[in-house]
Structures are given as structure tokens and as C-alpha cells.
């Protein structure tokens, strides 16, 4: 298929499998995008790169610390050297520092904000001038249902993801006349590596979590990847400043 044929996409946090960035990279490749994938986990990143190449996709990969402005500059310079342009940016890299607010340290809070929020700002501000040269672009920022509703023990995570939500809307308004779209995606409980590790440590939570989801099950990374794919494609050409919830109905309750 070719929903992204001729487009160049940068996806951060693509190493973890199963994971949102990894699944998004694979879907984009299936739809004809030329890819740049980055992560700090070089082993997982190489595996993702090889899987895409083995399937006939076009991809380059390298290590990137998304909290470092210098890494962003290098990544976008290398993107232009590799593919000549940038059409799509998926700000996916993120971490979850889960602590009750009275025991969270300032250092933990700052790290959460740096990885989940500041990185989105750094990447977006560097990507917009490149998209401006194309006359269009799509920026998709990964938020969370924690950016929509309160979740105990997730104060810093929620603050970062809530920031991503409103940052995305503001960017959308600033760039709308230039045909550069910006939207946020809000996953619920998705069966990623992070979730599997949490369940492994607390197996009794598996059924409890599933019971709390109206659809009765956790989502698959592909469910989120398909939403991101839609927003990256020209099918979403009139959608900007919107938030897309992929949560099996959790926030509808």
C-alpha cells in the first residue's frame, strides 16, 4: 500500500518492541514512507531497522537523546542529508515516572518533564522550518489519557502529557495557514513492553485492568500506530489541533 508514498517521516523512541514507536515505524514502512528512526536503545533500534529493511522498507537509524537540543539538530541535519526533506514528525519517545507527589523528588519530576514535554518542544521547533520549505507537514505528538484525566501516582507524567496536549493545539494554530498540521494521540492501557513488565511484577493487576476497560481488553500497539498513520496521511489533511483517544472507552466512563 502507499498512503505515505513519497513522504519522509522521523519517529523517535522506535526501539522497544512491542512498543508504539516500533509499531508506527513498521506501519509507516508498509505504507511507503522513507523513515528515520531514533532511540537511546541502540540494540532495539538496530533490530527495528533490520526488520524494516528485510520487508523492503527504506530506513536509516541512529541514537538520539531527545532531551538534548544538539542531538535534535544533528538528527534533522542527517534527515535532510539522507532523504532531502521532512514531511512527518512523530514525537513518541517517553518515560513514565510513577510516584505519589509527596515522595517524588524534584530530580524525578524534572526528568519526566524533560523526556516527555521538553523533547516535544525541541523537536517541533526544529521541524517546522523544514516543513515550511515543503509547504506542508504533519506533527503527531504522543500524549496519554493521563493528559486528559487524573490518575493517582502519575502527577509528573500527567503534567508532561497534559502539556503535550495543549502545546500541540497551540502549534496547530500557529502553523495552520502554512498547512503544517499538529495533533495529539492519547493512548490508554496498551500491551507494550512497559505494560508487560508492570504486569509481570503485579500479575493480579492484569484482570483488574482489563475489567476497568469497557472493551474488556488492553489495546495493541498497532491500534495506536494505525491512528498515527491516519494523522500522518493526506486523509487527515483537514485535521489539526485535535486530540485522538485510543483507549477502548476508558475515558468515556
Q: 69 — phi, psi (to 5°)?
A: -60, -35
Residue 43 DSSP SS3: helix
Confidence check: pLDDT of 199 > 80: no
Q: What is the pLDDT of residue 1?
A: 67
Residue 188 · residue 181 · CB < 8 Å: no
Confidence check: pLDDT of 206 > 90: no
CA neighbours within 13 Å on the CB side: how many for 116?
27
Domain positions in the chain: 8-94+119-149+161-248
Q: How confident is the model at residue 202 (pLDDT cuts 50, 70, 90)?
A: confident
CA dihedral 47, 59, 129, 2 (to 10 degrees): -120
Start-end of H helices in the chain: 20-30, 42-54, 69-83, 106-113, 119-134, 155-175, 193-201, 205-212, 221-232
Considering the chain, what percentage of its residues have pLDDT values greater than 70? 99
Which residues form the catalytic set? 157
Conformation bin of residue 208: beta by default, left when phi > 0, alpha when psi is -120 to 50: alpha
Q: What is the pLDDT of residue 194?
A: 77
Confidence check: pLDDT of 92 > 80: yes
Query: Which of 69, 74, 63, 84 is closest to 12 using CA atoms?
Result: 63
- Inter-residue long-range contacts of 106-112, CB under 8 Å, 24+ positions, other chains counted: 108/156, 109/156, 109/159, 112/156, 112/157, 112/159, 112/160
Which range is least confidently modeled, 54-68, 111-125, 205-219? 205-219
Residue 53 · residue 25 · CB < 8 Å: no
CA neighbours within 13 Å on the CB side: how many for 190?
25
**Secondary-structure class of domain 8-94+119-149+161-248 per CATH:** alpha beta
Q: How confident is the model at residue 229 (pLDDT cuts 50, 70, 90)?
A: very high
Q: How confident is the model at residue 129 (pLDDT cuts 50, 70, 90)?
A: very high
CA dihedral 45, 50, 51, 57 (to 10 degrees): 110
Considering the chain, what percentage of its residues have pLDDT values greater than 90? 92
What's the mean pLDDT when you consider all of the chain? 96
Q: 54 — phi, psi (to 5°)?
A: -60, -30
Residues 9-30: tens digit of each pLDDT:
999 999 999 999 999 999 999 9
Confidence check: pLDDT of 152 > 70: yes
**CA–CA gap between residue 137 and residue 149 (Å, rounded):** 29
Amino acid at each position: 500500500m502507499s498512503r505515505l508514498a513519497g513522504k519522509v517521516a522521523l519517529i523517535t523512541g522506535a526501539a522497544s518492541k512491542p512498543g508504539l514507536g516500533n509499531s508506527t515505524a513498521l506501519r509507516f514502512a508498509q505504507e511507503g514512507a522513507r523513515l528515520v528512526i531514533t532511540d537511546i536503545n541502540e540494540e532495539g533500534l538496530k533490530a527495528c531497522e533490520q526488520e524494516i529493511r528485510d520487508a523492503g522498507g527504506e530506513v536509516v537509524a541512529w541514537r538520539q537523546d531527545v532531551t538534548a537540543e544538539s542531538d535534535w539538530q544533528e538528527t534533522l541535519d542527517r534527515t535532510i542529508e539522507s532523504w532531502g526533506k521532512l514531511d512527518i514528525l512523530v514525537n513518541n519517545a517517553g518515560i513514565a515516572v510513577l510516584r505519589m507527589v509527596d515522595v517524588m523528588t524534584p530530580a524525578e519530576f524534572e526528568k519526566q518533564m524533560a523526556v516527555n514535554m521538553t523533547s516535544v518542544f525541541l523537536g517541533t521547533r526544529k521541524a517546522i522550518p523544514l516543513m515550511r520549505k515543503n509547504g506542508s507537514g504533519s506533527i503527531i505528538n504522543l500524549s496519554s489519557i493521563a493528559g486528559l484525566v487524573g490518575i493517582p501516582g502519575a502527577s509528573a507524567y500527567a503534567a508532561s502529557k497534559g502539556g503535550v496536549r495543549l502545546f500541540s493545539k497551540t502549534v496547530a494554530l500557529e502553523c495552520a495557514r502554512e498547512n503544517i498540521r499538529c495533533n495529539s494521540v492519547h493512548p490508554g492501557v496498551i500491551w507494550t513492553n512497559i505494560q508487560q513488565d508492570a504486569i509481570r511484577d503485579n500479575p493480579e493487576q492484569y484482570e483488574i485492568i482489563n475489567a476497568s476497560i469497557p472493551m474488556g481488553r488492553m489495546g495493541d500497539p498497532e491500534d495506536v500506530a494505525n491512528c498515527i498513520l491516519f494523522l500522518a496521511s493526506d486523509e487527515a489533511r483537514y485535521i489539526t489541533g485535535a486530540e485522538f483517544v485510543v483507549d477502548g472507552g476508558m475515558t468515556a466512563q
